[in-house]
Structure 1
Amino acid sequence: MKISVDGGSFCTPENNQFGNYTFSNSLIGALSRYDKENKYTIYSFCNFPKDTSLNKNFTIKKLLPKYFWSKVRVAIEETINKKDIYLALNQSIPMMSFSKIISFSHGLSFHFYPGLYKNFSKLNDQLEEMIYDSDKIIVSSTRVKSELIEIEGKSSKKIHVIPYGIPADMIKTEKVKANSGEKYFMHVGMDHPIKNVDFIIKAFKSLKNGKTMNGHKLYLVGCKRRINDSHIKIVPYANRAQLKKLYRGATATLTSSFYESFNLPVLESLSQGTKVVGLRQAIVPELRPYVALADDLNEFRDLMKKTVINPGFRNTKKIIKEFAWENYVKKLVKLY
């Protein structure tokens, strides 16, 4: 089959490469490793990353101009050079395509918390188009499937759950030393109100001077605000190698989002042998068996203290086996 892929997320600036970028990069890499039969054309509006190694059944096509790119420019390409399938990795569908459309939904936080999104109207329009124009919709969790069905019950038959895999750079076998020196908790994520970072700051500040904390600090990775507290370290950007070291050196990764469709930092942290403490609402059902879950601030604080006393996550082999990109690709290809 001839398959086209939305590779627009590869044009995201390096210091703003969060969930969608990591997902797209991981999926395309996995398709290259595990699907040698189908022919893929990746659309982009920038030069593709030089360090991306792809199999010979992959072609990269730069489409310009970038204005109205996914709606118009990609539609023109799809009309001229027809494919069998279009993988809409970024929830945006071309205005015209003769291909079977497989869309990937990355969550509905904007739907449930519209006040936190300035571009709510645009995101909501994309959601409606995705539901009605897609032949199949891939979601990362049973949670998202249930929510989509609540929004539009007729969509149930086209929705398929395939949990993400651990990014390849997090399971490479080369030795990577943990971030040495300080003892710390960490939070990883874009600086957006949906991440509810103030909750984590509040929990940490209420504990930082206690004997149990033993000099721990809080690293906020991806945060760009200023915080006047010597115990809180702002890390606006960390590349993937740095992030891997940070995970390995942390006592625990903390998450308290109002909503998550999957929460890749949780999976990444667990893959590095580091525990995760999370509010229940921030953890999808597929990851809950592996996370220390809290329902309120007091429970969250208690779990933080417990990780100081008993750090380390010991089920990394099980995590790596269960959340493998090879499994993802096998399930996806069956839907072609």
Structure 2
Amino acid sequence: MKISVDIAALCNKLQEYGNHTVTRNIVEGIKRIDADNIYSLYSFCKKPQWLTLPENMLHKRILPRKLWLSTRVSLEEFLNTKDIFLALNQAVPFYTKARIFSFSHGLSYYFFKDLYPNSYEVLKDQLFTMMDKSQYVFVSSAKVKKEMTSVFLKTDKVKVLPYGIPYDMLTANVNSEYISSKVRQISKKLFLYVGMDHPVKNLQFLVDAFTIFSQNQAYKDYTLLLIGADFENLEIKTPNIQRLKQVNREEIKYLYQKASGYISASLYESFNFPVLEALSQNCPVVVRSSAIIPELSPYVHIADHVEEFVESMKRLAAGSSKIISKEKLKKEFSWDSYLTKLISYYKPA
């Protein structure tokens, strides 16, 4: 079969998490699992240096970027017809003869409309178009499928495929050549957050909880490290909270291994990749219940109120955490399994 793949999420080099992580691992998984089908990888930027492709996979840089998916990709699909279009970022092209397989990354914008004032209408339109035009819509959790049911009532086309541990997090090996001196100097007494600075991430809750935690003399030397953005809108009252806008993947792995714990308080998550990454590196996790999907909840510490969140952080600082079976984690969250199941849907129903 001939298959088109929207990999434009890889063009965002400033946010190498979320959609970027999904896209990269699906591409890597296809390389490992499928040598039989022919893939055209659509993008509007140059092929990433790390991306080496086998003979059955072709990177196609399609320009101009303006009206890229609605017009330019549609023209490409008209000129070179395919059997399947993998819409990895929820949006689907205006035209294609291919069967559309869409990938939804959750409904945070739908349930928290006020937090998406500039993008809600566009995202909602994409959602309804995706549901209308797709043969299948793949989601990362049974929670998201349940939410889809509440919106669309009939969701036979929605299929649950939990994401896997990213391929670069399957081992504990860290290439020291990629660890900067700045990252090496960060204290081992450390809590981490990795991701974007968006109101739905509820980051002020983390800041407030850590501030209370670090006011205790026993924990005054601890640091909260926020990774992934400028985090300019937070009210920070302690120098123990540091920010790093950009770190590479090896440095993130290094910090997971170094940290006492990973913390998250999102108002909504459809998966929460950093939680799985942290667990894969033996870094215990404290989250609010709204920040975790049911499939991952057995592996983490859940605390909804600031006081109990702080107490959970204290327990992690003391070395008390859930015992995690890495083999069970790898089996339950596997990209190889994900791609094998995805490819099984290629055959016409």
TM-score, structure 1 as length reference: 0.95
Counterpart among 177, 196, 200 of residue 206 in structure 2: 200
Report which stretch shifted further, 115-124 or 261-270: 115-124
Please identify, of 164-173 and 108-117, the stretch whose mean Cα deviation from structure 2 is larger. 164-173
- Alignment pair present for 1:324 and 2:321: no
Q: Could you tell me how far apart the structure 1 residues matched to 2:231 and 2:271 are?
A: 25
Which deviates more from structure 2 when the two are superposed, residues 234-243 or residues 121-130? 234-243
Contact 1:102 1:134 in 2 (8 A): yes
RMSD, aligned α-carbons: 1.6
The aligned residue for residue 148 of structure 2 is: 148
Compute the displacement of 1:103 (Å).
0.1
Where 1:144 maps in the other structure, the secondary structure is: helix
- 1:108 lines up with 2:118 in the alignment: no
1:282 aligns with 2:297: no
Q: Which amino acid aligns with 1:145?
A: K
Cα distance in 2 for partners of 1:19, 1:73 equals 25
| Conserved? CA contact 1:180–1:249, under 8 Å | no
Aligned residues of 2:299 and 2:324 also touching (Cα < 8 A): no
CA distance in 2, matches of 1:22, 1:70: 20
**Once the 2 structures are TM-superposed, how far is the Cα of residue 267 of structure 1 from its aligned partner?**
0.3
Q: Post-superposition shift, 1:203?
A: 0.5
One-letter code aligned to 1:317: E
Q: Which runs of 5+ in 1 are unaligned?
A: none
Does the 8 Å contact 2:211/2:237 carry over to 1?
A: no
Q: Which residue of 2 aligns with 1:174?
A: 173
What does 1:41-120 correspond to in 2, within 5 Å? 41-117=40-116, 118-120=118-120
Distance 1:56 1:311 in 2: 49
Q: Distance in 2 between matches of 1:173 and 1:231?
A: 27
Give the number of aligned pairs: 334
- Counterpart of 1:3 in structure 2 is 3
Which ranges in structure 2 are unaligned for 5 or more consecutive residues?
177-182
Give 2:264's aligned residue: 255
The CA deviation at 1:251 is 0.4
Query: Structure 1 stretch 171-180 or stretch 113-122: which is displaced more?
Result: 171-180
* CA deviation after TM superposition for structure 1 residue 61, in Å: 1.0
Correspondence for 2:301 among 292, 302, 307: 292
Identity among equivalent positions (%) equals: 40
Aligned-partner residue type, residue 45 of structure 2:
C
Q: Deviations over 1:83-135 (max 9, x none)?
A: 10000001111111100000000010000111111211100100110111111
In 1: Cα distance, 2:193 partner to 2:174 partner: 23
Encode CA deviations 1:24-78: one digit per residue, 9 max, x unaligned.
Answer: 0011111111111111110111111021122221011111111100111111111
CA contact (8 A) 2:174 2:254 kept: no
Q: CA deviation at 1:238?
A: 1.3
Moved more, 319-328 or 101-110: 319-328
TM-score in terms of structure 2 length: 0.92
Q: Check the 8 A contact 1:274/1:311 in 2, yes or no.
A: no
